Chains A and B, each alone.
Chain A
Amino acid sequence: QAQLVESGGGVVQPGRSLRLSCAASTFTFPAYAMHWVRQAPGKGLQWVALISSDTTNEYYGDSVRGRFTISRDNSKNMLYLQMNSLRPEDTAVYYCAKSLLRGGITHGLNAFDIWGQGTMVTVSA
C-alpha cells in the first residue's frame, strides 16, 4: 500500500514563508502526478496544487496561485509545497495525495488516491 508522510507544518506569522514536504514510499513515485489539498479547521476540503509526474506541468487553485509553488524530487521520492506571503486564511491541515492515474495528467482522471496523514499550518501573529 502506498504511503505518504507530510512534515514541515507549524506556526508562522502572516507574510512569512514555510515549506512543506511529503515523503513517498512503497509505490513508483516518479510515475504519478501528485497533489496538495488543505482543510481549514472545521471546514471542507480545498484543492491547492497539482504537479505532473515529470514536473513539466503545474496547476494551482485560485486562492494560492502566485504565492505557493509545488515541486518534486523524483530521485528522493519527495514532494514539496513552498508557501510564501502566508495569510491567516491559509491556516489548515495540508495533505499530500497521490494521483489515481499513473502517467501523465489527463484532466478529470488524476483524482486523489492515497492521502498522507496531514501536517498542520497555523498562520497567526
Chain B
Amino acid sequence: QSVLTQPPSASGTPGQRVTLSCSGSRSNIVSYYVYWYQQLPGTAPKLLIYRNNQRPSGVPDRFSGSRSGTSASLAISGLRAEDEADYYCASWDDSLRGWVFGGGTKLTVL
C-alpha cells in the first residue's frame, strides 16, 4: 500500500477538464512539496509539475497543480488523446526519511 493515495483510474472525453487527486499526511504533503509525473505506456516517467504548481519548460499550460492541506491535485484541461497515461504524485516523507509515491492513476481518454 502506497504512502500517498491516488485513485487507480480516471477518465474523460477530449476537450474535457479532469482532476486527479493525491492524499497524504503531515509528514509528507503538508510539510513538503508535491511533484507529478506522467508515464506514457512503455516509457520512463516524465516530470510534469514540481514544487506543487510549477511547470518545467515544455510542459503545456493545460497541466496545473495545486496543494491544500493533506491533499494535492493535478488538473488537465482540454484533454487530448495523447494525455492517456499513468500519473504519479511524489513527495518527501519526514517520518520515513525517504521519497514516497502514490500508487498512480491510470487516465483513459474516451
Contact = CB atoms under 8 A, between A and B. Distances in A.
Contacts, number: 66
Contacts of B39: 45
A52 to B, nearest CB: 14
A44 B98 contact: no
Contact of A112 (B31, B90, B98): B90
Question: Chain B's interface: helix, strand, loop or mixed, by majority?
Answer: strand
Q: How large is the interface on B (under 10, 10 to 19, 20 to 34, 35 or more residues)?
A: 20 to 34
Contacts of B51: 109
Q: How large is the interface on A (under 10, 10 to 19, 20 to 34, 35 or more residues)?
A: 20 to 34
B109 interface: no
A100 interface: yes
Most chain A CB neighbours (cut-off 10 Å) among B86, B98, B99:
B99
A98 to B, nearest CB: 10
A47 B32 CA distance: 16
Question: Chain A's interface: helix, strand, loop or mixed, by majority?
Answer: strand
Contacts of B46: 115
Interface stretch (B10-18, B60-68, B73-81, B100-108): B100-108
A111 B99 CA distance: 8
Interface in A11-57: 35, 37, 44-47, 50
Most chain B CB neighbours (cut-off 10 Å) among A47, A111, A113, A114:
A111
